[in-house]
Amino acid sequence: MEEYAAQLEEMGETVDGKLLEAVTDGLGPANYNDDASLVACSDKDELKRVYTNFVADELGVSDEEKGMEAVEAVCEKMTGIRRKHRAVFYYLLTKMIK
Protein backbone atom coordinates (compact mmCIF):
# COMPACT_ATOMS: atom_id res chain seq x y z
CA MET A 1 0.00 0.00 0.00
CA GLU A 2 2.97 2.32 0.56
CA GLU A 3 3.83 2.02 -3.12
CA TYR A 4 0.32 3.10 -4.08
CA ALA A 5 0.38 6.06 -1.68
CA ALA A 6 3.78 7.10 -3.04
CA GLN A 7 2.49 7.02 -6.62
CA LEU A 8 -0.49 9.16 -5.64
CA GLU A 9 1.75 11.64 -3.84
CA GLU A 10 4.05 11.86 -6.89
CA MET A 11 0.94 12.85 -8.85
CA GLY A 12 0.23 15.63 -6.37
CA GLU A 13 -2.72 13.86 -4.76
CA THR A 14 -3.55 14.10 -1.07
CA VAL A 15 -3.95 10.51 0.05
CA ASP A 16 -7.04 9.43 1.98
CA GLY A 17 -5.61 6.38 3.74
CA LYS A 18 -8.99 4.85 4.56
CA LEU A 19 -10.20 5.12 0.97
CA LEU A 20 -6.95 3.73 -0.42
CA GLU A 21 -7.11 0.82 2.02
CA ALA A 22 -10.73 0.08 1.08
CA VAL A 23 -9.96 0.15 -2.63
CA THR A 24 -6.86 -2.01 -2.17
CA ASP A 25 -8.72 -4.54 -0.02
CA GLY A 26 -11.50 -4.71 -2.59
CA LEU A 27 -9.03 -5.79 -5.25
CA GLY A 28 -8.01 -8.82 -3.23
CA PRO A 29 -5.61 -11.20 -4.99
CA ALA A 30 -5.30 -8.90 -8.03
CA ASN A 31 -2.89 -6.81 -5.93
CA TYR A 32 -0.38 -9.65 -6.02
CA ASN A 33 -0.58 -10.62 -9.68
CA ASP A 34 1.77 -8.52 -11.81
CA ASP A 35 -0.56 -8.40 -14.81
CA ALA A 36 -3.83 -7.95 -12.90
CA SER A 37 -2.37 -5.29 -10.60
CA LEU A 38 -1.82 -2.87 -13.50
CA VAL A 39 -4.14 -1.03 -15.89
CA ALA A 40 -3.16 -0.60 -19.54
CA CYS A 41 -4.79 2.56 -20.86
CA SER A 42 -3.81 1.54 -24.39
CA ASP A 43 -6.08 -1.53 -24.18
CA LYS A 44 -9.64 -0.41 -24.96
CA ASP A 45 -11.08 -3.80 -23.97
CA GLU A 46 -9.47 -3.49 -20.54
CA LEU A 47 -10.83 0.03 -20.09
CA LYS A 48 -14.29 -1.27 -20.94
CA ARG A 49 -13.85 -3.98 -18.27
CA VAL A 50 -12.78 -1.31 -15.76
CA TYR A 51 -16.02 0.51 -16.50
CA THR A 52 -18.18 -2.63 -16.32
CA ASN A 53 -16.58 -4.32 -13.32
CA PHE A 54 -15.71 -1.31 -11.20
CA VAL A 55 -17.36 1.92 -12.29
CA ALA A 56 -20.76 0.38 -13.06
CA ASP A 57 -20.81 -2.57 -10.62
CA GLU A 58 -18.97 -1.08 -7.63
CA LEU A 59 -19.53 2.68 -7.98
CA GLY A 60 -23.04 2.40 -9.43
CA VAL A 61 -22.55 4.55 -12.54
CA SER A 62 -25.07 3.22 -15.04
CA ASP A 63 -24.41 5.93 -17.64
CA GLU A 64 -21.70 4.24 -19.71
CA GLU A 65 -20.69 7.45 -21.47
CA LYS A 66 -20.16 9.25 -18.16
CA GLY A 67 -18.33 6.25 -16.71
CA MET A 68 -16.02 5.87 -19.70
CA GLU A 69 -15.28 9.62 -19.59
CA ALA A 70 -14.11 9.15 -16.00
CA VAL A 71 -11.95 6.18 -17.00
CA GLU A 72 -10.38 8.19 -19.83
CA ALA A 73 -9.83 11.15 -17.49
CA VAL A 74 -7.88 8.95 -15.09
CA CYS A 75 -5.83 7.61 -18.00
CA GLU A 76 -5.05 11.19 -18.95
CA LYS A 77 -4.15 12.07 -15.37
CA MET A 78 -1.77 9.10 -15.25
CA THR A 79 -0.10 9.86 -18.60
CA GLY A 80 3.62 9.37 -18.29
CA ILE A 81 3.32 6.76 -15.54
CA ARG A 82 4.49 3.46 -16.97
CA ARG A 83 3.14 1.19 -14.22
CA LYS A 84 -0.42 2.32 -13.58
CA HIS A 85 -1.34 0.44 -10.42
CA ARG A 86 -4.94 -0.74 -10.45
CA ALA A 87 -5.42 0.32 -6.82
CA VAL A 88 -4.28 3.86 -7.67
CA PHE A 89 -6.41 3.91 -10.83
CA TYR A 90 -9.52 2.77 -8.93
CA TYR A 91 -8.78 5.19 -6.07
CA LEU A 92 -8.70 8.10 -8.54
CA LEU A 93 -11.91 6.88 -10.18
CA THR A 94 -13.62 6.65 -6.81
CA LYS A 95 -12.60 10.18 -5.85
CA MET A 96 -13.66 11.51 -9.24
CA ILE A 97 -17.09 9.87 -9.24
CA LYS A 98 -18.13 10.05 -5.59
In three-state form (DSSP H/G/I as H, E/B as E, the rest C), the secondary structure along the chain is CHHHHHHHHHCCCCCCHHHHHHHHHHHHHHHHCCCCCECCCCCHHHHHHHHHHHHHCCCCCCCHHHHHHHHHHHHHHCCCCCCCEHHHHHHHHHHHHC
pLDDT for residue 19: 97
**Which superfamily, per CATH, for 2-97?**
Jann4075-like (1.10.238.120)
pLDDT for residue 98: 84
What parts of the chain have a pLDDT lower than 50?
none
Q: What is the pLDDT of residues 7-26, one digit of tens each?
A: 999 999 999 999 999 999 99
Q: What pTM, to 2 d.p., does this model score? A: 0.96
